[in-house]
Amino acid sequence: MESQNSSRSCKNLFIAVVLMTLFSAIFYMYYEPSVNWLNCPAVPKHDVCGNICINALKTPNQIQIVNNTCMVNFTSLRHQLTQTEAASSQGGDLDTILLIWMWPFGHPFDLGLCSSMYNIHGCHLTVDKSQFNKAHGVLFHHRDIYGDLSNMPKLPRPPIQKWVWMNMESPSNSGQRSNLNNLFNLTTTYRHDSDIMVPYGRISENTGGKKHDEIPHKNKLVCWIVSNWNSDFKRSKYYEELKEHISIETYGNHFNRRISAKDYSDVVSSCKFYLSFENAIHQDYITEKLYNPLSLGTVPVVLGPPRKNYEEFIPGSAFIHVDDFNSPKELAEHLKLLDQNDDLYRQFFTWKEHFVARTSFFGPEQACHACDHIRRNKNYRVVNDLNSWYWG
């Protein structure tokens, strides 16, 4: 009797196990577990989590796939969800936001040039001051900051927001202010020791594969365009002596001979030599007065920081430095010699076999590079003594 009962119990247990197994098989065959049930964010069917992992859960003996593949992807998807939620709170994208607080010198520029002109991605430039609390950085142009700071932000600065001081003028042409210390986190200027260094121009590798153009036709020997005249400037004094020894074609407001922007290229390219004289002498202060003639096929004669400083930016054989001569008269004699020797003159253009010259776009280039710097660098930084650094 007990044997029969035991046999019947085992049989019932066996039937129950079989039924449970069949039920489980049918359940996993016809029930597709939702992504939420798996603690995975909603993803498209083609996603690894929504495809391989769910199929693995339907199939027996796939614990390895579940543990190795699915859980890894669940972690990755959770990270993506966190990023998406963070982006949503910043306006729906992951871009670094740079707020341009004032247009440099009041001149607007295209805010969408970062990716197309400088291959900088993930940056969003704006002038919408309502975005102040969302901005990762704010750009301020020195010459447009009021002396009493009354046109600076009134709201407290968010702790992780960077304030960027922008100045492309030399210390001699920039008003020093005592209230700028401890106010900014980053600097963008023409100087090598800036956080974001943006020169007035660049000599870069010629990657277009196009051979450099022939030297433009020349019908003038030496040219100079100047409007900002000051008799105390070194360049003014040098010019006054140089003109006694060589003919110089002069243009600009000071000489009552204005030229339009349209005519500028034609005039400069028609000159064998151009006086690229800076209005102030400071380290790294090398402006478009150098890069414009280079790009237009004219040899610049420079007056500015020492030759060694120029050669940090351009080939030494591409220009003539006034310091290489004992006097303006000696320089004039050298220029006349080059005018008579075409082979010697052409040597100043050998750099164009491999390089091209271009000037910077004032405003967008500083803004795009500042935004990119903020995007890449999250470290804390404060400019404690701006005045000593720039004007000291």
Residues serving a catalytic function are 169
Question: Cβ of 168: how many Cβ atoms within 10 Å?
Answer: 24
Cα-based angle 65, 69, 70 (whole degrees, multiple of 5)? 95
Region of residue 72 (left: phi > 0; alpha: psi -120 to 50; beta: else) = alpha
Q: Is 240 left (phi over 0), alpha (psi -120 to 50) or beta?
A: alpha
**Cα–Cα dist 340/86, whole Å:** 68
Is the Cβ–Cβ distance between 347 and 317 less than 8 Å?
Answer: yes
Contact between 286 and 293 under an 8 Å Cβ cutoff? The reply is no
Query: Which DSSP letter does residue 216 get?
Result: P
Name every residue whose Cβ is closer than 8 Å to that of residue 111 and which is 6 or more positions away in sequence.
100, 125, 126, 127, 364
